[in-house]
Chains A and B, each alone.
Chain A
């Protein structure tokens, strides 16, 4: 199975969510700023990279995990990907997409704008790391609500 964490730019929320999922960031304590800043792809993928599937690692089940930025077109991209895979593959591969866009908070949007749009990474990047550091801890509802989303599995492994 392929697991894809999808958000607007594929550079903040989906990156943090994917690395929590992969166990690279703690779920039970507040991560340090340097832990977040050291994440691959965090606040690094530029506008030209949007739409590219970035490999993040393998989960314990051996499934490949990817990060994807889809701007405002997440639903359209999911729909079209599902349709093309249905046309193409037999047996159909299993692809799980976790839509992180509803979990992008206003301060994260603002930090992303400062860093990515205005290019002020010296301000935007620590802002973003601090924001994620504050919202991630196990007591927070952020990860639990994200974790509670059933992935949008749009292709089944086998069909009767």
Chain B
């Protein structure tokens, strides 16, 4: 199955969720360091109107992508999930999006804020795992 983590305006939250999904034992400080390095190597703003990149594979054999653009998450989810269902691809791709608006300077946030963000990321990843399980069971 393909899991696409989506975040609006910045790929940081989607990237952190992808990291958390692929490596459940990862700690926040370590995740931030690795995310900064990943962003430096893979992300260049400008050009395309959206950012989509393959991140890796989870232990369950799912392929993880991350995606980002200016489109609000819930709005994009509605359209893309509808389209995936209509084309019969709903069971192959899962779009997991952060429902909240993220307007943080991710690279420089304090450790307290990192922990708070990490809890939101963990929640999204856990929910996504449950969704994947349900889809696979079907």
Residues of chain B contacted by A77 (CB below 8 angstroms): 71, 76, 79-80
Pair count A-B, CB < 8 A:
82
The answer to whether B89 touches A88 (Cβ under 8 A) is yes
Shortest Cβ gap from A90 to chain B (Å): 9
CB of A149 within 8 Å of the partner chain:
no
Shortest Cβ gap from B11 to chain A (Å): 13
Shortest Cβ gap from B39 to chain A (Å): 20
> How many residues in B have their beta carbons less than 8 Å from beta carbons of A?
28
CB of B116 within 8 Å of the partner chain:
no
Residues of chain B contacted by A64 (CB below 8 angstroms): 86
The answer to whether B93 touches A53 (Cβ under 8 A) is no
Binary interface profile of A, 66-97, with partner B (CB < 8 Å = 1, else 0)? 10101101011101110111011100010100
The answer to whether B2 touches A88 (Cβ under 8 A) is yes
Whole-angstrom CA separation of A89 from B79 in the bound complex: 16
From DSSP, what is the main secondary structure of chain B's interface residues? Answer: mixed
From DSSP, what is the main secondary structure of chain A's interface residues? Answer: mixed
The answer to whether B75 touches A71 (Cβ under 8 A) is yes
Shortest Cβ gap from B129 to chain A (Å): 19
Pick the contact of B75: A51, A85, A88 (CB < 8 A). A51
The answer to whether B88 touches A80 (Cβ under 8 A) is no
Residues of chain B contacted by A93 (CB below 8 angstroms): 87-89
Q: What is the interface of chain A, defined by CB distance below 8 A to chain B? A: 2, 50-53, 64, 66, 68, 70-71, 73, 75-77, 79-81, 83-85, 87-89, 93, 95
Report 21 cross-chain contacts, Cβ distance below 8 Å, ordered by A residue.
A2-B86, A2-B87, A50-B75, A51-B77, A51-B78, A52-B78, A73-B69, A73-B75, A76-B49, A76-B50, A79-B48, A79-B50, A80-B69, A80-B71, A83-B52, A84-B83, A84-B93, A87-B4, A87-B93, A88-B92, A95-B87
